[in-house]
Amino acid sequence: MSHGGGCKAHAVVMPWPGQGHINPLLHLAKRLASQGFSITFVNLQYTHSRIMGSIHRQQEQETGHGNAGLLPYAKLDIKFVCIPDGIPADTPTSDVPELCRGILRSRSAFEQLLHELHPPPTCIISDTFVLHSQDAANKFGIPRVSFWTQSVATYAVYQAVARGFITLPSGSEDQLISDIGGVPPLRKKDLPGFIQCNDPSDFMFKDCVAPLERAQEAMCVLFNTFNEMEGEAVEVLRQHEPGCRFYTIGPVLPEEYFFGMKPSRNSLNMAPGFWAEDYDCLQWLDKQEAGSVLYVSFGSITELSEGEVKELALGLEASCVLVLWVLRPGTGDRSGHSALPPGFKERTAGHMMIIEWAPQLHVLAHPAVGAFFTHAGWNSVLEGVVQGKPLLGYPYFDDQMLNCRCIEEQWGNGLALKKHGEELLTHSVVESKVRAVMTDAKIRQNALQLSEDARRAVQSSDPGSSAANFKSFIQALTKAQDVVLFEA
């Protein structure tokens, strides 16, 4: 595969098959397309059908019909394709090991796609955990950009384990690990769950650490964060990995989201989800006073038990706070029936709205929302940070425990509950934490300061750290591809 100088940059973009991995790469793809790139966005078949269904619903909302080619991205050169993965269609989004196996099974199909694409791709931009894309880049002689969708602190933890910089304690899970630079002291149980076993023969352990062991093969690593939030951790990484180029270019979100405006409902401000977004909730928010509503959403993977849903419900009710609560279909039990306490909806009808899925960027940007009760996935953390919303974390797995430690101990922009399943969740704890995060002046001050830092980082005039890093990345990538960009 070859390409001549002066051709248009053609990036093949491939996320890991989770909503929290797809969204930031799609935002990045739209940003690159607006700068002259042609984009081929590759999903596994498992996620493609869900994503395209969402795009078609979005088309219908914007144009009145849902069969128009590349809409809603017709103004941008973005094409969506899928490759086979062998994942059963009924696999839950929480079955991470099966999704990882699907990625592995997609290797040959991905290489075949690269071989057949016309014009040929000039680079690959893929999720760090789609490691076979590095093999493909090596095979076809094109640069590959590794996109890390979690915090730099989480990357530093994975790196420390992969490179043997730390030894995980074999005793108490409360024993502190304090020698990872730029990261607050951690307990073993705060580490991403898949590496806690520290067993090189374990499938998920190998799948998680292998991309970090081969990090230097990528042209560079992009971080969806900003220096003012995680700069110390980035500098430590540069010392440990002198052969890697790291760029902090985040938060990777639509431009409108940063500057105090309600995001418009255009395609640049939307990322298609696995479930239909309920925009009626915005009309409900319009009727509420500024800062009066707690937004509750635990993401696309978190599975709550029926008991947890009931305790959360009772705690939210007792807090007497206005609540917009996202309860995914099937939350609380696999049958899809509501796990809410008897009479709960009737008792809370005046001050609570419950929906199946929300247009989260629009909700968090709404002035009525005063705080965000979240699973503390990295996208949700960043989206809340940009809008200056105090965070209340209830971590489920992976990086979310570490994110909660940073929220409480490093950034001071929120509070956290015990990890999902670690102790019995009680409605009294939920009630007290909710009231605190909605009223604590220091937390709110820290949240607003982080928001201002994020805005400065992405501003293009007198460029902030992320804006300058993004420009440097584009220059380096253009040079590595031997291409020129034709501004859109």
Q: What's the CA gap between 78 and 51, in Å, rounded?
A: 14
- What is the three-class DSSP state of 470? helix
Q: Which residue, among 321, 305, 306, has the nearest Cα to 433 in the 3D structure?
A: 321
Q: Which three-class secondary structure state does DSSP give residue 281?
A: helix
From 10, 21, 420, 427, active-site residue = 21
Instruction: Please give the C-alpha separations between residue 242 and each of 70, 168, 316, 414, in angstroms, as whole numbers.
Output: 41, 24, 48, 34
Separate counts of helices (H) and strands (E) for the chain: 17, 15
Rounded CA separation 151/224 (Å): 7
Q: Please tell me the distance from the alpha carbon of residue 148 to that of residue 445, in angstroms, as a whole number.
A: 29
Q: Which two tokens stand for residue 22?
A: 């797809």
Residues 6+ apart with CB under 8 A from 6: 483, 484
Residue 427 annotated as catalytic: no
CA atoms of 70 and 214, how far apart (whole Å): 35
- Residue among 27, 48, 85, 127 flagged as catalytic: 127
Looking at residue 8, what DSSP letter applies? B
Q: What tokens does 401 get?
A: 């425990």
Which one, of 173, 204, 202, lies nearest residue 189 by Cα?
A: 173
Alpha-carbon distance values, 388 to 32, 141, 367 (Å) = 27, 43, 10
Half-sphere exposure of residue 269, counting CA atoms within 13 Å on the CB side? 18
How long is the chain? Answer: 488
What six digits make up the tokens of 323? 């609540």
278 carries an active-site annotation: no
Structural contact between residues 281 and 326, judged by C-beta atoms closer than 8 angstroms: no
Name the nearest CA neighbour of 52 among 74, 96, 82.
82
Q: Where are the beta strands (DSSP E) in 169-258?
A: 176-177, 186-187, 220-223, 246-248
| Positions marked active-site | 21, 127
